[in-house]
């Protein structure tokens, strides 16, 4: 396994295109990744492919080369569509390649809301200029623009664009309901959307546009990933959350979130120590040493009970974090009130 030993990288990419035989593409993709000793997650659907894979630099470069020469993606996918970051095969527990209905789980049939109806794509430079303008107008309280983060709350918590509206949602599949419940907020607005690598904006912007209330909908091409390559110290502050064992990528020194227990600045996630729970928790080293390693008191209690009982019964994930958060928050803010500072 010499391939995996040197310092490698993680690739993030997607490609919307017509896939006649998703099962066949899936089998090919699996064989390709195994051959190159890549780990990660790849979703295949009739609407395209979405993947994040890790391995040695030799392997990831070969992977890109093969992907670009695959007839299905020819003339659609290009070198720039692959977002690269330091990492490797060790960033993922295994390789998972599967066929799904959607390549990004929004929970809405691609036939009803298609990626073809997406918003206007802005390059990182164009997006940077737009945000700059938005922030200067917002300080005078006269902006007709909403800077919308369409990621989940735990992602935006550790890093986001200044002055953004970051929905308190737990899954992207709640995003459509969030839009429905807050339509008034988007009325006659120019919306600037962004996400990690751009894929959630493809369907999210299409959904928002289908409601026909916004003046215009724009999205950041290549997502935060590409923006940070150009502007590591720009308007995006904090870390970039990633869905692998690294949890976050760092581009500037800002820490914008705090330890759940003592409130000291802290932005490194750990998985809740209660084994049935899938929540991420921000707990600083000193609180960790005090044994504060669960996402909330309910889970902390459960963990103690489970260890003392040591029965094989698995408990359902049910903790304060999930119980207290409304599934879809209703915004009671005028965009003027949005925090435009850090």
Residues belonging to the active site: 195
Structure tokens at 255: 């820490």
Which is it for strands 216-220 and 120-122: parallel, antiparallel or unpaired? Answer: parallel
Q: Please name which of 1, 2, 24, 11 lies closest in space to residue 242, comparing C-alpha atoms.
A: 11
Question: Nearest to residue 222, comparing CAs of 83, 118, 105, 85?
Answer: 83
Q: How many whole angstroms separate alpha carbon 289 and alpha carbon 279?
A: 19
Measured in residues, the chain has a length of 342
Cβ-contact 274, 297 below 8 angstroms: no
């Amino acid at each position: 396994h010499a391939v995996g030993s040197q310092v490698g990288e993680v690739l993030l990419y997607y490609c919307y295109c017509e896939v006649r035989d998703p099962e066949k593409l899936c089998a090919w993709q699996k064989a390709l990744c195994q051959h190159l000793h890549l780990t990660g997650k790849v979703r295949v659907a009739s609407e395209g492919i979405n993947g994040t894979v890790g391995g040695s630099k030799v392997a990831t470069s070969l992977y890109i080369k093969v992907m670009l020469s695959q007839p299905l993606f020819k003339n659609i996918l290009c070198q720039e569509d692959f977002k690269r970051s330091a990492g490797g095969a060790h960033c993922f527990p295994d390789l998972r390649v599967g066929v799904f209905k959607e390549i990004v789980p929004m929970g809405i049939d691609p036939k009803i809301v298609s990626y073809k109806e997406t918003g206007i794509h802005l390059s990182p430079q164009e997006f940077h200029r737009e945000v700059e303008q938005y922030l200067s107008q917002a300080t005078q309280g006269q902006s007709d623009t909403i800077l919308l983060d369409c990621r989940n709350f735990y992602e935006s918590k550790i890093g986001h664009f200044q002055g953004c509206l970051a929905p308190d949602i737990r899954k992207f599949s709640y995003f459509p309901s969030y839009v429905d419940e807050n339509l008034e907020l988007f009325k006659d607005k120019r919306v600037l959307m962004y996400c990690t690598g751009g894929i959630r904006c493809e369907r999210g912007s299409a959904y928002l546009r289908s409601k026909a209330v916004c003046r215009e909908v724009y999205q950041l091409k290549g997502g935060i990933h590409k923006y940070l390559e150009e502007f590591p110290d720009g308007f995006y502050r904090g870390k970039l959350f990633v869905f692998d064992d690294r949890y976050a990528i760092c581009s500037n020194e800002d820490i914008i979130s705090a330890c759940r227990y003592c409130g000291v600045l802290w932005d490194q996630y750990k998985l809740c120590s209660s084994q049935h729970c899938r929540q991420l928790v921000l707990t600083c080293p000193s609180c960790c040493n005090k044994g504060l390693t669960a996402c909330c008191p309910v889970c902390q209690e459960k963990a103690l009970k489970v260890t003392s009982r040591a029965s094989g019964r698995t408990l359902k994930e049910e903790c304060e974090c999930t119980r207290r958060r409304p599934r879809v928050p209703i915004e009671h803010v005028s965009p003027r009130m949005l925090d435009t500072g850090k």
